[in-house]
Amino acid sequence: MSINFSFLIEKFPSNNLTGKAKFLAQGLFSIYLLEGDKPIVVKLITNQEIAQSEFFSLQYFFERGILVPKPYGYWEVSGKWVLAMEFISSGACSKEKSFLESLTKLYSIQSKKWGWEINNFIGSLPQPNIQTEDFFEYFWKTRFLPQLNLAVKKNLLKESYKTRLELLLKKAETWGIHKIQPRLIHGDLWSGNIIWSNRGMYLIDLSPAYGHPEQDLGMANLFGGFPTSQMPKLLETIGLDPYGYLERISFWQVYPLLVHVNLFGSSYLAQLENCIRKYDK
């Protein structure tokens, strides 16, 4: 580790930090734990925009009472960005109850417009955003089209996929998914982006927007790790009709699969094709 975190001791005197950094995990970025009375998690981020958008998202959720680690700030150190946040320890909890409570609170936060006020990221990929009253404009311009263009540029997909995705959105219009009030969503809800704590289900690594809750549920179904039996109850609790949501899940999985094609290559093409083909009839 080449970064000296001693400057954080001065910034958080009440935490009694020891200055000893313990390596926690290596994902997209390295994550360390600064030990003390109130331990702090630090993430080393190489991209300033990613650091800014992650801090903004955490702060936005935290201020609205959503269970996320409290963000403390981010600083440039030796050419990298140090994002500091509250340490959340894993613990036993009722996953069914915590899942319902955490996401019910999240999806109760509504907006008049679809989208998000700043650009952000999904994994390492830029995720452009707009704010619009038209769901299909939002989803096409900021979700489907950017990922499709990138996949075509990488020679992973053919330009003809554009027509198929346009037809898929027309199909989705018949479901009425655009008629709900936009809800605040996580945007990348897989099991690696949550922490089960004795205080509940914490959300991390946010890629948020005001979108449709079924987008999160589609992602949660894609890789598992969630109490999927609670999803109809969740939709009912937030005032949405759960009828037919299972038939729509594959639609919502198209976007994360496009992302995975661009991140990890052709191994995800078969899954992507299966999801789109389901609605070709």
pLDDT digits (tens, 9 = 90+) for 260-271: 999 999 999 999
Strands of the 114-115 sheet, one edge to the other: 131-132, 114-115, 209-211, 183-185
Read off the pTM: 0.95
Q: Residue 83 — very low, low, confident or very high, per pLDDT cuts 50/70/90? A: very high
Specify which residues 131 forms β-bridges with. Answer: 115
pLDDT at 2: 57
Provide the annotated active-site residues: 188
Quick one: pLDDT at residue 198? 94
Count CB atoms within 10 A of the CB of residue 115.
23
Residues 205-246 pLDDT 10s: 999 999 999 999 999 999 899 999 999 999 999 999 889 999
For residues 175-192, give the mean pLDDT: 96
**Dist CA 60 CA 53 (whole Å):** 10
- pLDDT score at 19: 72
pLDDT for the residue 230: 93
**Helices 269-277 and 161-173, packing angle to 10 deg:** 40
Q: Give all strands (DSSP E) within the chain, no chain letters.
A: 21-26, 30-34, 40-45, 71-77, 80-86, 114-115, 120-122, 125-127, 131-132, 183-185, 194-197, 200-203, 209-211
Q: What is the arithmetic mean of pLDDT over 50-56?
A: 97
State the Cα–Cα distance between residues 266 and 65, nearest whole angstrom. Answer: 40
Instruction: Please give the DSSP secondary-structure letter assigned to residue 2.
Output: -
**Average pLDDT over the chain, rounded to an integer:** 94
Phi then psi dihedrals of residue 194, to 5 deg: -135, 160
Residue 126 is classified by DSSP as E
Percent of the chain with pLDDT over 70: 99
What pLDDT does 36 receive?
87
* Domain boundaries for CATH 3.90.1200.10 within the chain: 95-277
Tell me how crowded residue 179 is: count the other CB atoms within 10 A of its CB.
Answer: 8
- List, for residues 124-145, the tens digit of each pLDDT value: 999 999 999 999 999 999 999 9
Predicted confidence (pLDDT) at residue 1 exceeds the cutoff of 70: no
Would you state the pLDDT for residue 28?
A: 86
- The superfamily CATH assigns to domain 95-277 is Aminoglycoside phosphotransferase (APH), C-terminal lobe (3.90.1200.10)
Identify which has the larger pLDDT, 11 or 181.
181
CATH 3.30.200.20 fits 7-86, yes or no: yes
Q: State the average pLDDT over residues 74-96.
A: 93
Range(s) for CATH 3.30.200.20 in the chain? 7-86
